[in-house]
Amino acid sequence: MVSLQLHLSFTPSPLKLRRPLDHKLPLHAPPRLFSSANRAATTNGYPGKDVLLNGAPPPPAHYAKEDSAPLPAGLQRELMPRHVAIIMDGNRRWARTRALPIGLGYEAGFRALRRTVDLCCKWGIRVLTVFAFSTDNWFRPKVETDFLLRLFERALRDELQRLVSEDVRISLIGDSSKLVKPLQVLLTDAIVATESNSRLHLILAVNYSGQSDVVQACQKLAVKVKDGLIEPEDIDEVSVEKELGTNCIDFPYPDLLIRTSGELRISNFLLWQLAHTELYFSHSLWPDFGEDEFLKALCSFQERQRRFGC
């Protein structure tokens, strides 16, 4: 039996959106052309020579320095990762070690996510991708998955206006069709309400599988070949990348992946996109992951010499 013992009664506050909604939530977030700042730093969608040799480029021109607070001692702005991905692991263990209901562990995990989003905005990180709900999570007890998705809906509803005011853009990767209708609608609202924001791009991987992401990209390319739009020999890494869920991101390849809870695996997360990513494994359970742990991960990243090869 899974003990959740947490009341979810609340009154949703009305959302004030920038425009009316009359479209359905897509399977993956809609494509978005690379910004001019990113295009200058990439070649055919991949890091350009200057990036590979010299590290991440300066922040895009539209991102003013005053948008970021001074960095903590030990961090160098020119070496900050543009894109950080996180596997937020350890919520249930955090609750169990404290003899608390599992639901309280998930709530503490959402507070940790809020802290991390604030730090990314504060320190000038451009993209944060979080593994919010895996396709493998459906194998957990139904009472637990139902609770987790309701909590996700409540947290997003409560935080949306704050994210809008903080200039955070929200996108979704994963198959939304299995989510309950109210959550699908809310995710659509959040995507539309924040689509013009540019300080931080928050990517929510919900009902996501890295393997499925690659499979659906291959299926799209197969249809294009069948329809005579491309030849089989035209298919390369760039064409596959354009069909992945992360085609909505200016910097689709994470510079740094963080996994909490001491586990040493990537659990079917961003399998294609992590090809050249630096990995950092923290022993902290996700609810305990705060500024000090994030700082350790970033310092470790900045101490490495990225070679993009064996």
SS3 content of the chain, % helix, strand, coil (to 5): 45, 15, 45
CA distance 289 to 7: 25
| Angle at 245 (CA atoms; ends 54, 42), nearest 5 degrees | 25
Q: Which of 50, 67, 89, 288 is flagged as catalytic?
A: 89
Sheet of 256-259: strand order equals 168-173, 200-208, 127-134, 83-87, 256-259, 278-281
Dihedral of the CA atoms 217, 218, 219, 220 (nearest 10)? Answer: 50
The identity of residue 98, as a single letter, is R
175 is annotated as an active-site residue: no
Determine the 3-state secondary structure of 88 from DSSP.
Answer: coil
Catalytic residues: 89
